[in-house]
Every structure is written in C-alpha cells, then in structure tokens.
C-alpha cells in the first residue's frame, strides 16, 4: 500500500491514505492514539460480525461504541486512516496474504490492540461515506481466525456459521492447511515516563472487611510512597464485635485518613461511598490485601500525564503466599520483566485492586454499579463502561502491586452463599424479585447481567450457546455422556441466571 507522509507539528512522521482533515492531526498526535480513522461514518460499524464466534463477551471491543466523537476501535477503514510511521513499520503494514484490504486493515487494528498500540475512531477526520465497506471473502475470515486464535475456534466458527455450506468447509480446510498463527512482537511506545508535572492531589480508596491488620500494612506502604496520596479513605465493613479498636489511629500518617464504617453490603457500595468523600484530582483504587512499592502512586500519575489518558490499570502480581513482603515484590517484578516487556498497551480489563482514574471520569461515570454486589464482574463492568464513554484505558506496567490473596476475609464472605441452595441460603443483593430456591443459577446472574447490559442480542445469544458448548466439551471424553444426561438441569440453571439478570437490567444501573 502506498501511503503519503505528513509531518506533524511536533516533528513526528505520520502516514496516511484518503483525505484527512489535517487541522485535527497535530492535536491527535499529542494524545494516546497511534492510528486514527473515521470508519463509523464510512460503513464499517460492526463490520465482520463473525468475530463474535470467538470473543463473545470476553473481549470488550467485539461490538463498536457508537455515538461518540472518539473511542478505541480496531475496525480500520483501509481507504482512509492516519498512522504513526514507526507503528506502521513495527506491524509491517497490512498483511498481503489477505485477499480483502478490509480484512487486512481489521487484522492490523486487532493486532494493535493486542500488542501495544492504540487504534482510534475519530469523528470528522475523514469525509462521511456509507458505501466504502466491501464484502469479506470467507477464506479471509478463516485466515483471520487461524492467525489470531487456536484452530478449534475456526472449527467452532464453521459449526455455527457455515456447517451446511460447502464453500465454508473448503475455506476452513484450506486455512488449516496453509496458514500459521502470526507472530508479532509487542510494540514498545516508550520505556521512560515524563517527570511529575505539578502537585496533583490523590485520593486512595480501600474497601476492607475482616482484614484490618492487612489494611494497616497497606497504610504503611502508602506512607512510604515517593509521592504520598493526599488522602486515604478506608471503608471498613468488619462487624463491630470483630474490630480492633483504634487500629487505624495508632500511627500518625503523612496524609489525611478517613475511616468510614460500612453499614451497607458490598464492595461496589463501599467504593461508591468512598468516591463521594474523595477530593483528589486522581483516584486510585486498591484492595486491602496488597503490598505496594514506593514508586507506586508516583508512577500512576506520571503514566497518565505522559500518555495523556484519564484511566489506567497497574500491574497486579500474584503472591506465592499471604506472608510475602516488599522484598518478594521487588524480586517478582524483576523476574516478570525478564520475560515480559515494559509495554503500555490497551487494557482489556479493569482491576479494582490496582487502577487509577482522573476526576474527569467521575463526571460521566460516578461510581460502580451496585447490581454486582454479591456476585462477580464489577471490575469489568466499570472498565467497559469507562471505554464506552470514549475514555482510553491503558495498562500501566510501571505501577506494580503484590496481591497476597489470603484464604479468609474480604467481601467475598458476603457472596459465599452463592453456592448454597435451599433454606440454609442467605438472600443475595441480586435476588430482587425472586429467590434462588433449589436450582442454583449458573453462570452467576451478575455475569449474565453484564452480558445483557453491555452487548446486543446476537452477542448475548452466542455467549449462551458457547456456555453450553463449553459445558459439553471442556471435560474428559468419557464425562461427556454424563453431561449430556445432565444437560436439561444445566439449561434450567442458565435460564434461571438469565431471569435474575433480566430483573437487574429492568431496574437499571444503581450507584446507591
């Protein structure tokens, strides 16, 4: 592909095709993006729907975020885009083995999200034209699946999409025999962060329950930071008869400490109550069972200032046992980066144990959806809600924590009833209009709620089908006949989960 060159105001070389609005480029190059296009306005919105047969709800970007001026988007229009020259060269341009330029562009956009670059939709960068997209050959669809995923995903695509079509069978066999997975190195945008700009205020939020000693250890790590938080807000749900009196006030801290004794239930409510009390320009979320290196807070702020983003996830490293300390953290961090590059990248998840947002985010996303309390998925929901507002969420490998994961304590105590049925079960927050009874909903109703809330009917339907497919196939061959006999019960569990999820969806997002 022959691309033209544009020299940005900051001296960086950009490559482009089509007719971009050059007045926008100097501003775009200063932001987090690496490639920019206007595909929504040129017929590419939700093109290549077959991606749903692999990703379902596990990948945030399976469906496009519409109605925004800009957002992360991998469905690149091959007839109109701008890309940083160094990024184009790293990914070696469009793969010439695809017959369709559309699939070649989508393939590169997908690889960028996976391997460290940021493709973005920008409204108005290119003229509107709804007739740009061309049909994608079936052979290119299978080639994409074989290159990006394991071959069983291509087989599943064949079963779901073209089982009775000989052309699809031929394309599947050809792709399996002739194409290998592509090997792409992670794009390293930078390994250095800019110096801290100004003296921004930082609020650090800690929900805790039955882990007061661990919360105090975390306070000590925060007190030793090279750039300490301005305030720390602890929301403690420990029952009154299990509290250690005055445990948080035995030391004079170098930050303002607020302790809120939680009377509501759930970690989502805890974080929301803390957000209402927070005043910082940046808000850092952390679990109570983590240890922090001394540069943790400073690196979060420097990272967000360097890449000009309003949200990021830090690097969460799992401890071998709950007694490990900062020496173990440093050793594990060193070992981790021996085999993993220090590479900022698009984040496909959100981690409430280690994340940072700017105050600007709270203007559009005031808190966590409390419909998830008692279940799972609140982290993913907050992160996906964030990027659907047009924010760029990046993985920040510079802010590292050690996640201790003790066997006892924490908010999962409230959710431990989820596997209990019958009269001994205590009602969960998501049991609004009905009770569980003797048939336990599987998957968790909050996971099904997440699917209904964020994805269209086609994606949700494929998620349900794949759930049953995995139930029958993710076991030893001799267990499959037994699972076939149990399939009616599994279907009842799935349908019950869906009913609870529909109840949650009917009442809508709740912050309190």
DSSP alpha helix (H) spans, 278-432 = 296-307, 326-339, 359-364, 378-387, 412-415
SS (H, E, C) 32-53: CCCEEECHHHHCCCCCCHHHHH
The CATH number of residue 227's host domain is: 3.90.550.10
> Could you count the other beta carbons within 10 Å of the beta carbon of residue 316?
16
439 and 357 within one domain = no
Report if residue 93 sits inside a domain.
yes
E strand or H helix at 400? strand 393-403
Task: Give the three-class secondary structure for 323.
Answer: coil
Q: Which residues of the chain have pLDDT under 50?
A: none
Report if residue 270 sits inside a domain.
yes
Report if residue 409 sits inside a domain.
no
**pLDDT given at position 180:** 65
Specify the DSSP class assigned to residue 307. Answer: H
Could you read off the pLDDT of 160-216 as tens digits, one per residue?
999 999 999 999 998 887 766 667 888 887 678 999 999 999 999 999 999 999 999
Q: What is the phi/psi pair of residue 262, to 5°?
A: -80, 130
Rounded to the nearest 5 degrees, what angle is found at the Cα of 97, between the Cα atoms of 91 and 101? 75
Question: Which residues 6+ apart lie within 8 Å of 370 measured at CB?
Answer: 266, 268, 269, 272, 429, 510, 511, 512
354 and 310 within one domain = yes
Distance CA 392, CA 304 (A): 10
Report if residue 408 sits inside a domain.
no
Q: Starting at the edge strand that comes first in sequence, how are the strands of the sheet with 70-72 ordered? A: 4-7, 13-17, 81-84, 35-37, 119-122, 70-72
Q: What pairing do the DSSP bridges indicate for beta strands 81-84 and 119-122?
A: unpaired
Task: Give the three-class secondary structure for 387.
Answer: helix
Helix 445-454 and helix 457-473: axis angle, to 10°? 140
Question: Cis peptide before 185, with omega less than 30 degrees from 0?
Answer: no
252 and 119 within one domain = no
Report if residue 125 sits inside a domain.
yes
Distance CA 261, CA 411 (A): 14
Asked if 38 and 77 count as a contact pair (C-beta separation under 8 A), the reply is yes
Rounded to the nearest 5 degrees, what angle is found at the Cα of 164, between the Cα atoms of 163 and 167? 90
Report if residue 189 sits inside a domain.
no
Q: What is the phi/psi pair of residue 233, to 5°?
A: -115, 115
Final residue before a domain boundary, out of 119, 137, 155: 137
Distances in whole angstroms, Cα of residue 70 to Cα of each of 35, 276, 460? 12, 28, 25
> Could you count the other beta carbons within 10 Å of the beta carbon of residue 501?
26
483 and 389 within one domain = no
**pLDDT given at position 417:** 59
**pLDDT given at position 104:** 96
Distance CA 141, CA 50 (A): 8
Question: Which residues 6+ apart lie within 8 Å of 173 measured at CB?
Answer: none
Final residue before a domain boundary, out of 137, 156, 171: 137
Report if residue 155 sits inside a domain.
no
Question: Which residues 6+ apart lie within 8 Å of 349 measured at CB?
Answer: 313, 379, 380, 383
Report if residue 451 sits inside a domain.
yes
Q: What pairing do the DSSP bridges indicate for beta strands 345-346 and 393-403?
A: antiparallel
**pLDDT given at position 49:** 94
**pLDDT given at position 342:** 84
Could you read off the pLDDT of 51-98 as tens digits, one per residue?
999 988 889 999 999 999 999 999 999 999 999 999 999 999 999 989
395 and 261 within one domain = yes
If one counts the domains in the chain, the total is 3
320 and 206 within one domain = yes
Distance CA 94, CA 110 (A): 12
Distance CA 508, CA 258 (A): 31
Taking the CA of residue 213 as centre, how many other CA atoms within 13 Å lie in the half-sphere pointing to its CB?
6
386 and 256 within one domain = yes
Asked if 271 and 379 count as a contact pair (C-beta separation under 8 A), the reply is no
226 and 116 within one domain = no
Final residue before a domain boundary, out of 137, 161, 187: 137
DSSP alpha helix (H) spans, 162-256 = 166-178, 212-223
380 and 262 within one domain = yes
443 and 386 within one domain = no
131 and 225 within one domain = no
Question: Which residues 6+ apart lie within 8 Å of 507 measured at CB?
Answer: 371, 432
**pLDDT given at position 413:** 64
The domain of 235 spans 202-403
233 and 371 within one domain = yes
Question: Which residues 6+ apart lie within 8 Å of 246 measured at CB?
Answer: none
Closest of 81, 78, 120 to residue 96, by C-alpha = 78
Distance CA 496, CA 444 (A): 10
Task: Give the three-class secondary structure for 56.
Answer: coil
């Amino acid at each position: 592909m022959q691309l033209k060159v544009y020299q940005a105001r900051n001296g960086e070389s950009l490559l482009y095709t089509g007719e971009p609005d050059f007045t926008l480029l100097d501003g775009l190059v200063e932001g987090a993006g690496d490639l920019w296009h206007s595909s929504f306005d040129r017929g590419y919105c939700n093109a290549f729907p077959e991606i749903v047969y692999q990703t379902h709800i596990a990948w945030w970007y399976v469906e496009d975020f519409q109605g925004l001026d800009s957002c992360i988007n991998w469905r690149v229009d091959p007839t109109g885009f701008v890309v940083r020259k160094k990024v184009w060269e790293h990914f070696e341009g469009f793969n010439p083995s695809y017959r369709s330029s559309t699939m070649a562009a989508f393939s590169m956009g997908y690889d960028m999200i996976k391997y460290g670059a940021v493709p973005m939709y920008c409204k108005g960068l290119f003229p509107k034209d709804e007739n740009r997209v061309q049909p994608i050959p079936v052979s290119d669809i299978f080639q994409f699946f074989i290159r990006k995923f394991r071959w069983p995903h291509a087989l599943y695509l064949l079963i779901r999409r073209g089982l009775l079509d000989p052309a699809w069978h031929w394309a599947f066999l050809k792709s399996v025999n002739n194409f290998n997975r592509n090997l792409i190195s992670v794009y390293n945008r930078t390994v250095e962060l800019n110096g801290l700009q100004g003296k921004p205020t930082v609020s650090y939020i800690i929900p805790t329950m039955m882990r007061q000693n661990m919360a105090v250890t975390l306070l000590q790590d925060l007190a030793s930071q090279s750039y300490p938080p301005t305030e720390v807000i602890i929301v403690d749900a420990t029952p009154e008869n299990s509290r250690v009196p005055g445990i948080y006030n035995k030391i004079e801290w170098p930050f303002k400490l607020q302790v809120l004794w939680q009377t509501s239930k759930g970690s989502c409510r805890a974080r929301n109550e803390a957000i209402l009390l927070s005043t910082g320009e940046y808000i850092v979320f952390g679990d109570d069972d983590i240890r922090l290196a001394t540069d943790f807070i400073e690196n979060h702020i420097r990272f967000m200032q360097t890449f000009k983003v309003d949200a990021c996830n830090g690097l969460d490293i799992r401890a071998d046992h709950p007694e490990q300390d900062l020496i173990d953290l440093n050793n594990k961090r060193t070992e981790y980066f021996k085999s993993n590059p220090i590479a900022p990248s698009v984040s496909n998840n959100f981690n409430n144990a280690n994340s940072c947002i700017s105050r600007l985010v709270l203007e559009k996303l005031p808190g966590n959806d409390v419909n998830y309390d008692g279940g799972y998925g609140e982290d993913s929901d907050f992160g996906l809600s964030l990027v659907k507002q047009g924010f760029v969420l990046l993985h920040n490998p510079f802010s590292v924590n050690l996640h201790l994961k003790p066997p006892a304590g924490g908010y999962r105590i409230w959710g431990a009833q989820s596997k209990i049925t019958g009269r001994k079960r205590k009602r969960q927050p998501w049991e609004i209009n009905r009770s569980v009874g003797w048939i336990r909903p599987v998957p968790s109703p909050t996971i099904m709620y997440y699917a209904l809330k964020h994805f269209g009917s086609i994606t949700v339907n494929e998620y349900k089908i794949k759930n049953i497919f995995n139930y029958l196939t993710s076991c030893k061959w001799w267990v499959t006949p037994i699972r076939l006999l149990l399939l009616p019960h599994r279907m009842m569990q799935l349908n019950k989960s869906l009913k609870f999820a529909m109840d949650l969806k009917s009442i809508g997002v709740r912050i309190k």
